[in-house]
Amino acid sequence: MIQRIQLNNLLKRLGTTFFILIIYILGCTIPLPLVNISTTFRQVLANSSLGIMSFMSGGNLQRLSLFSVGLNPLMIAMMIIQLLTMMRLFYFDTFSIKQTMRIQQWLTLIFAIIQSLAITLMLKLTTNFFTGLAVTLMLTAGSLFVVWLGNMNTKFGIGGTITIILFNIISGTLPNLLSSIGKIVGQSYGYLWLALVVLASFGLLIFWISFNRAYYPIRMVNTMISSHDEPIILPLGLNMGAMMTYMVGMSLLMIPTLLANILGPQSLFANPYFEIVLSGILAFALFYFFTFVQFDPKEHAKIMLHNNNYIIGIRPGEPTKKYLQRLLIHVSFWGALLNAIQLSFGLLGSRILGDFAGLAILPMNIIMIVMFMQGIKDQLLMLLFPLRYAHLMKDE
């Protein structure tokens, strides 16, 4: 009986996620009315990474639809909430979950309006004020509806907003990837080059799966445990800040591209090399920011002190906090560097590879799919665990 209930719950969640994805697909196919596909819009998509950035964060500017803005406003709102909470500004760390979620909803609305207005004006989608206002309202409503779909998937489906972003990545990059593969095959020794690309992709996949699971072991002792027992291990992940960097960072990395469109082709922001460097620096900084959000040294030092856990050779309290801060900076360096390189190349490598631009985002897609699938896998395992538990109980 318990197994049947748990299995029905799992099937309902899978069905809900499937239904939400169908709605999302339909929304992405509904053309945005009252807009003109301007020359500016075509040039921005052809000469910048704006289209790639949009579908990496749950939007889709490559196809003007009601869901073009997507989850971008929610990603920015989440980052601001985390920043305010981590820095303990305006007493954010004392707010309840309900209060925090309400503020996040208002921030999402504000950023949805700002981003919809920016896209309408900067890409010159309309020619008069009232049409521009209508398009802005439709983009805002579409974005909020996608956010609502993500929230419904979090409550009743599997994967939350991650599922929508993952589906968007696969569906958005597959046509360019297939086109690049076709061009590779058409070259001399095309199948040999294609085999090398496949092997390199598998190698990269294995590396990122391993790197995503790698950690630095912090050895601790507990005064309540015998000194003859093995030390307690606190794992410090090498790639903790990666997922949020890719999810939220994409929204911020769109800013240099939008500034290049505002300031003109002669501005510094329109220089691809400057954009690569700026994107890399932003990604590097964001990785560290989200790493410290995931692992707060001050909070962990306090928890260790209350639980009578001590790092071998380090005094408890403030010395432990400083030790964890220094260790976190050193341990996270290679993760920050590798992810910054991957992000920069994935976003701007299309200008280097030319006809094979679809291959530029392949490494970045592999990383995001690995990270997102791991999150979905963990949730599936949590849902399947009661089934296994009920089976063991039945055997007994």
Q: Quote the pLDDT of residue 113.
A: 94
What does pLDDT average to over the chain? 80
Homologous superfamily (CATH) of 2-395 is SecY subunit domain (1.10.3370.10)
Alpha carbon 15 to chain centroid distance?
24
Q: Assign 380 a pLDDT band (cuts: 50, 70, 90).
A: confident
pLDDT exceeds cutoff 80 at 322? yes
pTM: 0.76
Q: What is the mean pLDDT of residues 147-157?
A: 90
Give the least confident one: 147-156, 230-239, 329-338: 230-239
User: Quick one: pLDDT band at residue 120, thresholds 50, 70, 90?
Assistant: confident
Task: Write out the two tokens for 19.
Answer: 């239904």
pLDDT at site 354 = 60
Tens digit of each residue's pLDDT (9 = 90 or more) over 35-82: 877 666 766 666 656 666 666 666 777 778 888 888 888 888 887 887
With CA atoms as reference, report the closest residue to 160 among 148, 174, 142. 148
Token pair, residue 63, equals 């196809």
CA 280, CA 191: separation in Å to the nearest integer?
Answer: 33
74-101 pLDDT per residue, tens: 888 887 887 787 777 777 777 888 888 8
What confidence category does residue 388 fall into, taking pLDDT thresholds of 50, 70 and 90? Answer: low
* % of the chain at pLDDT higher than 70: 81
Instruction: Domain ranges for the chain, please list them.
Output: 2-395
SS3 track for 136-198: HHHHHHHHHHHHHHHHHHHHHCCCCHHHHHHHHHHHHHHHHHHHHHHHHHCCCCHHHHHHHHH
